[in-house]
Amino acid sequence: MKIGWCCTYVPLEILEARGVEPRRLLPPPHDKEDALLDPNLCPYIRAVMSHLERGASIDGLVLVNSCDGMRRLYDAVRHHLPSLPVFLLDVPRRTDGKAVEYFTGALEALSLWVEEVGGGKLR
């Protein structure tokens, strides 16, 4: 099973612990001609969406709310590619105890999602 990812905030260790092959999405530059997304979004976001539309050979996608473009990409994938499982990892902006507790829950949710979409049990 292959799970695509875009942002370095994605904890690849969780994917690998579930027996999944993480695949970083690095589409060719010409893929940025995407009509589904606003032209004001960065070329990388548009290229990823175009790459996904053309068939990226992945079984799921993990995105991170690291920028507004990634959040919009999450929305676009859910709307235009509903058969592709997608997970949005919410990374807190603070580092206090509540943020650590929140992020722990987000990582647990990611791990369970990977199992649900076809990853194995934790190794």
Structural domain boundaries in the chain: 2-116
Both tokens assigned to 113: 């999602």
- Asked whether the beta carbons of 51 and 84 are under 8 A apart, the reply is no
Give the amino acid at 80: H
Please report the pLDDT score of residue 43 as a whole number: 87
Predicted confidence (pLDDT) per residue in 90-123, tens digit: 999 999 999 999 999 999 999 999 999 997 787 6
- Beta-carbon count within 10 A of 21 CB: 11
Cα–Cα distance for residue pair 26/42, rounded to 1 Å: 14
Please report the pLDDT score of residue 121 as a whole number: 80
Percent of the chain with pLDDT over 90: 76
Q: What is the CATH number of domain 2-116?
A: 3.40.50.11890
Q: What is the DSSP letter of 34?
A: -
Predicted confidence (pLDDT) per residue in 30-52, tens digit: 666 666 888 888 889 999 999 99
Please report the pLDDT score of residue 105 as a whole number: 98
Both tokens assigned to 101: 């507790």
Cα–Cα distance for residue pair 27/45, rounded to 1 Å: 10
- Asked whether the beta carbons of 66 and 46 are under 8 A apart, the reply is no
Please report the pLDDT score of residue 106 as a whole number: 98
Give the amino acid at 48: V
